[in-house]
A and B are shown apart, each in its own frame.
Chain A
């Protein structure tokens, strides 16, 4: 039976409450999903997971929850005991749906935590070596794990809303959902999966695929490879949530985003792609690496703008949209702090999504920075439990702490835009004259000039970060290749990469005079041409394949009838695109 059948609207007996109150379609669904999972049929799992689960949730369980696991065990013949391996996976879906449809109770959160421990325990003790799960599910697992951690940390800080016995439980069970344990699980999954050596090896396992062999390498199993890879993104997120931005960026090193990765697994799930670059851009902004952040955000924004249309019906759509707007505002924040040239098409997005914010920040309004920061930041958490006896609501503490430090950094730079704007008017100006414009004495002006140099110097990571653009756009190209047919996609991203320094103003002081040189950044075509060369090559290969299929012997019978016409069509499209 095909998964599609489950979605059919043949309202017959199946809606009648079946055995144990589990609708019979749900029984059927669980049976099929379990069979597909245990048999390693990843395509079947994918469609059952991506489409059917949501459809059934909407139909039977909107506003409620899926049947509890024991009921399923009772209702589904093929499941013999509650210890069934499939149980933890079912419960993962069960709790995710529950969290999605309302605020879970304390005990539900604890049970979900225990289930995650069981689930990751299975991964870590080789329990899922022969099981194949689709990347989207594995991403959602890690995504949800981090999300539920956030939810728990927010939950326990709202002391005024908790019952005394709840506080008592939390006080005595600080290890449940502890951020420390969350980090340790993510680390353990990364190292268990062996994904780092796999990436180092250029996307090839270094050991044997035979589970019985001495040098068995788990990275030969896509399920492990993906969970390990996504756990790295999970680490990036958790470190960001607690304010450890430098470590957050460091955990990404094995991904080789900087020098052109050959293993960009993140492109396989859009939500992961966006999450990765949003958090990366955010961390760079927090570390004052504005040029890096602008580069990452620019490329990602234009990517997301085009990807969005493929997800309009997905449950991820809202999430993608929200992140898109957050990234536009974050880009505005970076541009306000570190003015530089970006592509006009991006400025259109920024003005549309955050034009007012940008205008207010540009005139140095601290409130606008604060407001934008709150809007663009992830939901910070306090890793330490609250002081239980203090009472009150501490849920905003983590955000206000990060915000306060960020704003202090912003305040240090507030006078710089004014200084820049004066400098831009001159090629040479005396310090005394400039000081009069700035309403400052000469020594304060000297300080501003030094400050401007210092702050501008840190906006990029040290050497060798130029190729970041390459990594990001390369990834973009490969997703596009996966996602759409040749010729049918939008034109390549207009190049917005940064030259050695994108700062549009350079100056130096000679004795008592400031010398200013404005710099024009030439448009860069190299990336664009490389992308087009790649596209032409792909197109040519596709045309040749089609032609071979059409002319060749009927060995590849299925391809034969669709020979010439689509090939010509593609060629025509290509001609138009060129």
Chain B
């Protein structure tokens, strides 16, 4: 039946099922198909994926490591959101030790602790699996760029290349790759081999004092009640 259905149809169907039969294991095949679709189309629906994990948690006999690992990879790609953490809370300890889950946990851990340089070599162990999910490297890189952007005002080009896993033997290729990335996020090359990150509130001097701000709504809700 699903062959005829387009991506949007499946999404709608999942939405409907989650509203009416969220706890019914019979909807698992549809949810699993939906995970595959997210992998293929580069979308991410964390709520549906967490519902899938929850059904596995309720009905351990239905558990499928392959689906779970895809959900986890999708969750890594969704960083800095807490998708990965949420997913891990739902995976029973007994099954969380099955490969490739520990390897994925380690990767996520490196990303969350800022160990970007160590991350790239570590992907080797599950490279084949990751290659099955289009857009993985790009998604991870864009997460890294967000964190780097919030941390650095100016960052050396070589450091940036190392963090992003863009180091190459060929200097010209490396330079081109870094140029492409910084162009995509609107950063500029400055002098002395530095890349300049535009101010974003985090990577610049902050006000010495933080004053009070009340929204109109906050005041209105209160005053109206008192009236």
Name A residues whose Cβ lies closer than 8 Å to a Cβ of B.
179-180, 183-184, 242-247, 250, 259-260, 262, 286-288, 382-384, 397, 400-402, 404-405, 408-409, 412, 443, 446-455, 457-458, 466-467, 470, 474, 477-478, 499-501, 506, 508-512, 515, 517-522, 524-527, 530-531, 533-534, 537-538
Q: Report the bound CA distance from A179 to B23 in whole Å.
A: 10
Kindly list the 8 A-B residue pairs having the minimum CB-CB distance in the complex, ordered from nearest. Answer: A450-B114, A451-B114, A260-B221, A534-B226, A243-B89, A499-B210, A506-B206, A524-B212
| Cβ contact within 8 Å between A447 and B206 | no
CB distance from B72 to the nearest CB of A (A): 13
Contact status of A184 and B23, CB under 8 A, knowing A499-B210, A515-B205: yes
29 contacting pairs across A/B (C-beta < 8 A)? A245-B89, A247-B54, A259-B217, A260-B221, A262-B225, A288-B85, A384-B58, A384-B92, A408-B109, A448-B114, A449-B151, A450-B147, A450-B163, A453-B202, A466-B213, A474-B221, A499-B211, A510-B152, A510-B154, A511-B156, A515-B153, A518-B208, A519-B207, A520-B209, A525-B212, A526-B219, A527-B214, A534-B222, A534-B225
- Which B residues from 168 to 224 make CB contacts under 8 A with A? 194, 202-215, 217-219, 221-223
Interface 1/0s, chain B 106-134, versus A by CB < 8 A?
A: 00010011111110000000000000000
5 more contacts with CB within 8 A, not counting A244-B89, A260-B217, A454-B113, are: A453-B150, A454-B80, A458-B82, A470-B217, A506-B202
| Cβ contact within 8 Å between B114 and A446 | yes
| Cβ contact within 8 Å between A454 and B50 | no
| Cβ contact within 8 Å between A412 and B112 | yes
CB distance from B15 to the nearest CB of A (A): 14
List B contacts of A409 (CB < 8 A): 85
Interface flag for B88 (CB, 8 Å): yes
Taking a contact as CB atoms closer than 8 A, the residue among B57, B86, B162, B210 that contacts A242 in the complex is B57
| Cβ contact within 8 Å between A457 and B150 | yes
Name B residues whose Cβ lies closer than 8 Å to a Cβ of A.
23, 46-47, 50, 54, 57-60, 80, 82, 85-86, 88-90, 92-93, 105, 109, 112-118, 147-148, 150-156, 159, 162-163, 194, 202-215, 217-219, 221-223, 225-227
List B contacts of A519 (CB < 8 A): 206-210
- Taking chain A's interface residues, is the majority helix, strand, or loop, or is none over half, making it mixed? helix
Q: Report the bound CA distance from A501 to B155 in whole Å.
A: 25
Taking a contact as CB atoms closer than 8 A, the residue among A450, A452, A466, A530 that contacts B148 in the complex is A450
CB distance from B25 to the nearest CB of A (A): 9
| Cβ contact within 8 Å between B112 and A454 | yes
Q: Report the bound CA distance from A400 to B96 in whole Å.
A: 13
Q: Which residue of A lies closest to B58 (CB)?
A: A383
| Cβ contact within 8 Å between B210 and A470 | no
List B contacts of A455 (CB < 8 A): 112
Q: Report the bound CA distance from A462 to B213 in whole Å.
A: 17
List A contacts of B194 (CB < 8 A): 511
| Cβ contact within 8 Å between B89 and A286 | yes
Taking a contact as CB atoms closer than 8 A, the residue among A470, A509, A526 that contacts B153 in the complex is A509
| Cβ contact within 8 Å between A401 and B152 | no
Q: Report the bound CA distance from A478 to B219 in whole Å.
A: 15
| Cβ contact within 8 Å between A244 and B209 | no
CB distance from B162 to the nearest CB of A (A): 8
List A contacts of B203 (CB < 8 A): 508-509
Q: Report the bound CA distance from A293 to B87 in whole Å.
A: 20
